[in-house]
Amino acid sequence: MNLLYDEAIDGPLPDIDRPALIKALREAAPGAALLHEAEQLRPYECDGLSAYRTVPLLVVLPETAEQVQAILRCCHRFQVPVVARGAGTGLSGGALPLAKGVLLSLARLKRILEVDPVSCVARVQPGVRNLAISEAAAPHGLYYAPDPSSQIACTIGGNVAENAGGVHCLKYGLTVHNVLRVDVITMDGERLTLGSEALDSPGLDLLALFIGSEGLLGVVVEVTVKLLPKPEVAKVLLASFDDVAKAGRAVSDIIAAGVVPGGLEMMDNLSIRAAEDFIHAGYPVDAAAILLCELDGVEADVAADCERVRAVLINAGAVDCRLARDENERKQFWAGRKNAFPAVGRISPDYYCMDGTIPKRALPMVLEKIGELSEHYGLRVANVFHAGDGNMHPLILFDANQPGELERAEEIGGKILELCVEVGGSITGEHGVGREKINQMCTQFNHDELETFHAVKFAFDPDALLNPGKNVPTLARCAEFGRLHVHHGQLPHPHLERF
């Protein structure tokens, strides 16, 4: 797998007159910080997918939307590609820089512009941290619902770019369900308002199109989010199973019973033991699988739902089912789950975290198949996932120092993602495509679908300067790595090749 931008495959990037660009940027946006020394650029060479690194040509840090506009206009004039970056916590390399591109950090646009407790909305700049929105809304009893694990650090601008999810997205939705409006700057410096404070917006739904577009369509300079009343109470049930498939079926049963849990997470034995060793969460280390089911809302509702879910779990074959006795134990139960990745990191020199999604009916079959792959390749796989919405995070354990193990891990990973597509699911649940899954996109989509992506991208950014090489693969890349059928060796839109 070649995951860095490869000019031979993805198309050549223009050579830039760096001193002239620096001069022009300083003139265009005098208030913005501009980094150009090697030691200043180094910290920006990767995001949360640190296996892949490229030092950018330059880094700019604007402080206002007007500076963003001036910078993009300037880069457009120089035809230099631009990669926007929030906090850099993304796990799929969406903010991986280009050696011939400008890295545009939104970190200094971090003002909370308005919190409106009557309409339950907040208007913020893109560099505001996810958790900071909830903190600002807390005095009104409100919060911002999507909660990626990185919420203490990640920014709302990055959340918009990746359509971030979180443990509670089963009940409260993804970023796209919680953002009402974004103001964006296009590559040629136009400011557009997409969406409104209304439930639906007339015309084409460019807001939903923009959310999750991974920096390909424009740069966000303002975000209006929905705020929700904080749930009065939250309770968590821990159920143990002697069989993974039974736990999988229990997930469907809970949903079918008409209860929408705040969170519904599943861990298999390998993850349970790793987490218990690390966190001492109180997990049953002999269980084949556990489910954590959180119920939140007003007190009387939650009490009734707990009883209901307990009955469903017992009926589905849980060998044990208990309610966290107090807030401390509830936090402990969650700490085990939230630290499952580092816990697995303690029992294996390396691991490779996948992010596929499958329809719930396929859960038992896919788990069985992963077991077979694990055995066939001789590598352990720990399964941790957002069971309620079918978003799996299989962790493939390997030792990069053992020759061939990395390759085998990547091979299992590829096969798991293909399996997800085969059963009607998708190659990413919440981490995005970025640079990491760019080749698998050729499996997920056919030629006509990829062409449509390119045509829509073209509508916003005809010169393909925004984050090239991410999210949507070039047709040339798919011809190289995917199953794409290229008719008589002709790519249909020569001007689209560089996307």
| Residue ranges in 449-478 that form contacts with its own copies under rule CB under 8 A | 449, 452-453, 455-460, 471-472
**367 token code pair:** 């788990």
3 is a contact residue toward its own copies (CB under 8 A): no
Paired sense of beta strands 219-226 and 179-185, if any: antiparallel
DSSP state, 496? G
Paired sense of beta strands 179-185 and 263-268, if any: unpaired
Residues of this chain, 419-448, that bind its own copies according to CB under 8 A:
424-430, 432-433, 437, 441, 444-445, 448
Q: What is the spatial distance between Cα 366 and Cα 139, in angstroms, rounded to a whole number?
A: 45
151 is a contact residue toward its own copies (CB under 8 A): no
Which is closer to its own copies, CB of 129 or CB of 457? 457
Which is closer to its own copies, CB of 10 or CB of 405? 10
70 is a contact residue toward its own copies (CB under 8 A): no
- According to CB under 8 A, which one of 37, 118, 325, 488 is a site residue for its own copies? 118
> Measured between alpha carbons, how far apart are the two ends of the chain, in Å?
19
Identity (one letter) of the amino acid at 144?
Y
**123 token code pair:** 């208007």
Q: How many chain residues bind its own copies (CB under 8 A)?
A: 89
Please choose, from the candidates 48, 157, 178, the residue with its C-alpha nearest in 3D space to the C-alpha of residue 110. 157
Closest separation between CB of residue 136 and its own copies, Å?
17
Which is closer to its own copies, CB of 81 or CB of 231? 231
Which is closer to its own copies, CB of 50 or CB of 196? 196
- Residue 161 CB-half CA count within 13 A: 35
86 is a contact residue toward its own copies (CB under 8 A): no
| 48: helix, strand or coil | coil
150 is a contact residue toward its own copies (CB under 8 A): no
Closest separation between CB of residue 129 and its own copies, Å?
22
110 is a contact residue toward its own copies (CB under 8 A): no
Which is closer to its own copies, CB of 186 or CB of 332? 186
Q: What is the spatial distance between Cα 226 and Cα 124, in angstroms, rounded to a whole number?
A: 11
**67 token code pair:** 């500076």
Instruction: Select from 10-18, 68-76, 237-245, 353-361 the region that touches its own copies (CB under 8 A).
Output: 353-361
Closest separation between CB of residue 485 and its own copies, Å?
14
73 is a contact residue toward its own copies (CB under 8 A): no
Which is closer to its own copies, CB of 59 or CB of 174? 174
The pattern of x and - marking residues 277 through 306 that bind its own copies according to CB under 8 A reads --------------------xx-xx-xxx-
Measuring CA to CA, how many Å separate 343 from each of 236, 339, 398? 21, 6, 14
Which is closer to its own copies, CB of 60 or CB of 438? 438
Which is closer to its own copies, CB of 167 or CB of 270? 167
E strand segments, 50-175 = 58-61, 82-85, 102-105, 112-116, 121-124, 142-143
- Helices and strands in the chain, H and E counts: 19, 19
User: Who contacts 203 (Cβ-Cβ below 8 Å, separation ≥6)?
Assistant: none
Which is closer to its own copies, CB of 52 or CB of 458? 458
Residues of this chain, 301-330, that bind its own copies according to CB under 8 A:
301, 303-305, 308
481 is a contact residue toward its own copies (CB under 8 A): no
Measuring CA to CA, how many Å separate 477 from each of 226, 473, 481, 484, 499? 39, 6, 6, 9, 10
Do the beta carbons of residue 471 and residue 214 sit within 8 Å?
yes
User: Who contacts 125 (Cβ-Cβ below 8 Å, separation ≥6)?
Assistant: 106, 109, 110, 111, 112, 113, 157, 221, 222, 223
Which is closer to its own copies, CB of 113 or CB of 455? 455
**378 token code pair:** 């001789």
Residues of this chain, 182-221, that bind its own copies according to CB under 8 A:
186, 190-194, 196-206, 208-209, 211-213, 216-217
Do the beta carbons of residue 212 and residue 176 sit within 8 Å?
yes
Do the beta carbons of residue 209 and residue 176 sit within 8 Å?
no
- According to CB under 8 A, which one of 358, 387, 412, 416 is a site residue for its own copies? 358
Instruction: Select from 46-54, 94-102, 383-391, 400-408 the region that touches its own copies (CB under 8 A).
Output: 383-391
232 is a contact residue toward its own copies (CB under 8 A): yes
Which is closer to its own copies, CB of 5 or CB of 172? 172
The pattern of x and - marking residues 388 through 407 that bind its own copies according to CB under 8 A reads -xxx----------------
255 is a contact residue toward its own copies (CB under 8 A): yes
